[in-house]
Structure 1
Amino acid sequence: MSISLRADRSIFRFAGAEAHRLLNDVLTGVMPGSADGLAHWWALLSPQGKILAEGSASWSEDAIWVDTHHTVADDFFKRMRMYKLRADVEISDMREHYRMGYSPSEVKGATLDRRGPVELGWRVIASVDDAADWSADDTPFHAARIAAGVAVQGNDFPANDAFAHDIGMDMLEGIDFAKGCYVGQEVVSRMKHRGTARRRPVIVTGPAGEASQPVVADGRDVGTIGQVVEGMAVASLRLDRITDPAAATLDGKPVTLTLPAWASYHFGDASDDA
């Protein structure tokens, strides 16, 4: 089975007696404490609740292996070393020696990229030498995640721009609501319990061109699309401004708006502070 190189992902390794505690106390998601076969979705938030970095984490060789988009990798590395303080954790920058890939079916050593009810294939981490014959085309991964309504940082939104709820992390197990505090937890909790999430992921079919183009509904901009792959994109849109999704346009041309299969929200939903 062909493995697609996800060349825009940077890899870091967290090892040591307190590695799990550090990541659990700082990142939003469930952190693996042993090999469970899964790649767990997470975000590093600002104190104001905006996503600074986003990625997945898995357990292998007595360590937690974390990936994030290359545009935020340096900042993520810097911040995690700051949060480390004197904890018994070794944070290793693996960007020079390891690569991350995607496979639509299971391969040896891979972990399942499962986000709530959505299974996005298999996340593969391998040495540069072992990844040398991977396909350079990452379209299969992006086509799969866009069809499922899953947004990713770097391709769909920049750092410090979106809340975790904006990309559905609360519904796709990117947030562990059972654990204690982490950076930005107060904002996440308030949005969950007060129902103040204004934007939600929507699948947009029919767009062409680049990301960041505005979607117009009922005469108003309701948000911008992310990366376009095979005529589809994910957009984080203001649901309360969309009363007629069939009338949406992009660059003056009609597009189709569809809610992801996992969504519990609806067009026209109004938040408490809309």
Structure 2
Amino acid sequence: MGGMTDRTLISVTGEDAEDFLQNLVTNDVTRTRGGGIVYTALLTPQGKLIADFFVVGQAEGLLIDAPAAVAPQLFQRLSMYKLRAKVALAESPLQVRRGTGTPPAGALPDPRDPAMGWRLYGEEGGDDGSDWDALRVAAMVPEWGRELGPESYILEYGFERLNGVDFRKGCYVGQEIAARMKHKTELRKGLARVRIEGIAEPGAAISAEGREAGTLHTVAGDSALAYLRYDRARGALAAGEAVLRLEDPAGA
């Protein structure tokens, strides 16, 4: 496993590397030319999330920076799509460092939100000890295994706001579903930030006037990320003994 213990890096090389990923993922990977970075996702044909990850431009080919927990499934799905494309997939020996202070030479800004700091790819991994959960909650950035999972629809989790989807690029797997959700009048469910009065644990069911309204996820101090039905999330919400109040729905 490359980099931080919760990340796996996959190299994508060969003359078709860019076109290969461009035809599969939600964002425009041509933006990585010259060493750039994009945040993106691979979806099922039904528009559900397989994995969210970064794609980084390299001197030769591209580098995928993915959650370790979903990297085997991502690798398997990419291999399935490879067919006759002139592409090689391999686990990379590079590692990733991240931090929020002054970025070291060669570091790339996290494309999701400036508050998420920088990422540096090289021989050393680790981070600077920033409180990543607090940063994610404040910036409403979901994480695989916490908010995000294999049933997620990316627009419900703010991927447009987080620069994770490009509606102007060409076709990709699951595009029709994502485009349909984009052009609906409004999303009925999705990521939100809530204020907690009391003690509530991640995974707690959220109710509104006795009706199921969502699930609590990452908690940081008296704020948390939650997945909510927006039509039921007006006024006071409850998670066990705690009272929750909606701070900010992500929407798109």
Are 1:7 and 1:100, in contact at CA under 8 Å, matched by a contact in 2? no
Equivalent residues in 2 for 1:124-143 (5 A)?
Answer: 124-127=120-123, 130-131=124-125, 134-135=126-127, 137=129, 140-143=131-134
The correspondence for 2:240, drawn from 251, 255, 261, is: 251
Output the TM-score relative to the length of structure 2.
0.88
Distance in 2 of aligned mates of 1:243 and 1:209: 19
User: In the TM superposition, what whole-angstrom CA distance separates every residue of 1:32-65 from its partner, at most 9, and x where no partner exists?
Assistant: 341254x311111111111111111111222211
User: In the TM superposition, what whole-angstrom CA distance separates every residue of 1:214-267 from its partner, at most 9, and x where no partner exists?
Assistant: 2222332221122223343212211111221xx11211211232116xx567xx
Aligned residue in 2 for 1:270: none
Distance in 1 of aligned mates of 2:5 and 2:200: 22
Q: Which amino acid aligns with 2:52?
A: E
- CA 235–84 in structure 1, closer or farther in 2 if over 3 Å, else same: same
Aligned residue in 2 for 1:147: 138
The correspondence for 1:222, drawn from 213, 235, 240, is: 213
Q: Which amino acid aligns with 1:224?
A: T
Aligned residue in 2 for 1:268: none
Q: Percent identity?
A: 31
Q: CA RMSD in A?
A: 2.3
The correspondence for 1:19, drawn from 6, 17, 20, is: 17
Shift of 1:74: 0.5
Aligned residue in 1 for 2:104: 107
Q: Gaps spanning 5+ residues in structure 1: where?
A: 266-274
Distance in 2 of aligned mates of 1:59 and 1:99: 15
Are 1:6 and 1:100, in contact at CA under 8 Å, matched by a contact in 2? yes
Output the TM-score relative to the length of structure 1.
0.81
Say how many residue pairs are matched.
Answer: 247
Distance in 1 of aligned mates of 2:199 and 2:105: 37
Distance in 2 of aligned mates of 1:152 and 1:135: 17
Deviates more, 1:167-176 or 1:196-205: 196-205
Aligned residue in 2 for 1:76: 74
Distance in 2 of aligned mates of 1:54 and 1:170: 13
The 4+ residue runs of structure 1 with deviation greater than 4 A are 207-210
Distance in 2 of aligned mates of 1:230 and 1:136: 20
Aligned residue in 2 for 1:98: 94
Distance in 1 of aligned mates of 2:216 and 2:97: 25
- CA 114–33 in structure 1, closer or farther in 2 if over 3 Å, else same: closer
SS of the counterpart of 1:234? Answer: strand
SS of the counterpart of 1:156? Answer: coil
Are 2:100 and 2:128, in contact at CA under 8 Å, matched by a contact in 1? no
The correspondence for 1:169, drawn from 126, 134, 159, is: 159
